[in-house]
A = this chain, B = another copy of it.
Amino acid sequence: MNVVQLPPRRKLGKIHVPTVTLAHGGGGKAMKDLIDDVFISAFAGASAPALEDQARFDLAALAVHGDRLAFTTDSFVIDPLEFPGGDIGKLAVCGTVNDLAVGGAKPLYLSCAVIVEEGVSLDMLRRLALSMAKTATDAGVGIVTGDTKVVPRGAADKLFITTTGIGVIPKGRDISVSRAQPGDGVLVNGWLGDHGAAILAARGDLALDADIQSDCAPLHGLIEALLCAAPGTRFIRDATRGGLATVLNEVAEASNVSILIAEDQTPLRPEVCGVCEILGLDPLYLANEGKIVIVVPPDEIPAALAAMRVHPLGEKAALIGHIGDGEAGRVVMKTVFGGSRIVDMLVGEQLPRIC
C-alpha cells in the first residue's frame, strides 16, 4: 500500500492545534484574519494582481490574447484531500486550467471559493492554499478573487473548493465536440486511469499494494504545443469523471459518428489493470486528471503525436483509434482477443468523490 507523505503529526497532548472555528466564517475580524493569513499570503505570489472582492481586468489587455472569452467552473469534493500525486488544491487549479485549455483558451485568471468544516486544522488549510498557489504559478494563471464559508461540524466533510476560470481563445481557433469526421484519428496523451486508481488505493479501505500516483497536472502547455503542430485539431477534452469511455461517447453522439478504438493501442499501466481486475472495474471509465482525448484530421495525426511525445506530459501519447461512419453514437473497442465490444456511457457510479 502506497502511503501518502504527510508532514509529521503533532502530538495532541497539551499542545494546542489551531483549527477553523465558526467565527472564521462570520464576516468579521476573525474571517478577515483567516483570509489574510491563509489565502492572501499564499496567493500573493501566484501572479495575482490583487485578491479583491471583485477582480477587474482591462478588456483591451484581454483582447491581446484573442477574440473570445472562455468561462468555466468546477467544484472539487475529492476524498481524501491529500493523495499520492496531488491534493484537492492542486486538483482544483489543474481541473479548471484544463477545462479552459481543452476549449482552446489561454487560461488567465481563477476565482477560488472554499467551504470549510469547523474543526479543520489551519495547518492543513495553509498547506492546501500553498499547493493551489504553486500550481497556479506553474500554470501561469492568477488566483484573483475568492470567498470563504465555514459550516458547523458535520455539515460538510472537511473541505470543498470551487474554482472558476476565465481565459481567452485565439482568433480562428475552433475546437468543438461536434466537429469529428470519419477518418479522423483519436489520440490520448498517455497512461489512462492513474488518477482513479490512485484515489482508490489512497482511500485505504482496500488493502491494495499499488504504487500508483494521480496524473493530476495542468495541460495548457501540452495543448498549446499540440495546437501549434496540428492546427486543424477538431476536438480536445480532459477525460476526468467517467474516463475515456464517457468522452468518446460524448463525441460520437455530438458529431453523429461512430468510433472504433483498439485495446492493444490504448495505454494502460499493468498496475492500473491489476487494480481494476481485483475490483471488477473497467479502466476505460476510470477518472484521469492529466489526460486528454484528441480528435485530429488524418493528415495531422503524425504531427500531433510527435508534438505531444516531446512534451513531458505527453511522452506516452498514442493513436488509439479512428472516427468511423458506422452507427452514429456507437463506440466500439477491438479487444486483444480479436473480438469487439460496445463501450457504452457509464451507467451508475464507479467511485464517489473522485474529483
Residues of A that sit less than 8 Å from B by CB:
21-23, 25-32, 53-60, 62-63, 66-77, 79, 99-100, 102-103, 105, 109, 111-115, 144-147, 149-152, 154-157, 160, 162, 164, 166, 168-169, 240-243, 246, 285, 287, 345-350, 352-353, 355
Asked if residues A287 and B155 are in contact (CB atoms below 8 Å), the reply is no
A11 to chain B, nearest CB (A): 29
Known: A77-B115, A99-B54, A111-B164. A71 touches B144 (CB 8 A): yes
Q: Which residue from B54, B145, B160 sits with its C-beta under 8 Å from A105?
A: B54
Is A69 touching B54 in the complex (CB atoms < 8 A)? Answer: no
A57-B69, A103-B54, A113-B73 in contact; A29/B156 too (CB < 8 A)? no
Are A349 and B25 within 8 A (Cβ)?
yes
CB closest chain-B residue, reference A28? B346
Chain B neighbourhood of A151, CB < 8 A: 77, 157, 352-353
Closest 3 CB pairs of A and B: A28-B346, A27-B241, A27-B242
Q: Is the CB of B345 within 8 A of A73?
A: no
**Which of B75, B76, B346 interacts with A29 by CB under 8 Å?**
B346
Interface of A is mostly: mixed
Q: Is the pair B152, A155 in contact by a Cβ cutoff of 8 Å? A: no
Copies of this protein, total: 2
B68 touching A58, Cβ below 8 Å: yes
A-B contact pairs, 30 of them (CB 8 A): A22-B349, A23-B347, A23-B349, A26-B346, A26-B348, A28-B246, A28-B347, A29-B346, A30-B349, A53-B99, A56-B68, A57-B68, A59-B59, A59-B68, A59-B168, A62-B69, A71-B111, A71-B166, A73-B147, A73-B164, A77-B149, A77-B156, A115-B115, A147-B162, A151-B352, A151-B353, A155-B156, A160-B160, A162-B164, A166-B166
Residue from the list B30, B56, B100, B240 in contact with A169, Cβ < 8 A: B56
CB distance A152 to B72 under 8 Å? no
Which residues of B sit under 8 angstroms from A103, Cβ to Cβ?
Answer: 53-54, 56
Residues of B within 8 A of A145 (CB): 71-73
Besides the contacts A30-B347, A75-B114, A162-B164, what 18 more A-B pairs have beta carbons closer than 8 Å? A22-B349, A26-B348, A28-B347, A29-B347, A53-B103, A54-B71, A54-B102, A55-B71, A58-B67, A58-B69, A59-B63, A59-B69, A59-B168, A71-B109, A71-B145, A75-B149, A115-B115, A156-B157
CB contact under 8 A between A115 and B75, given known A32-B345, A62-B69, A347-B28: yes
Task: Given A54-B103, A71-B145, A144-B71, answer yes or no on A353-B27 (Cβ-Cβ < 8 Å).
Answer: no
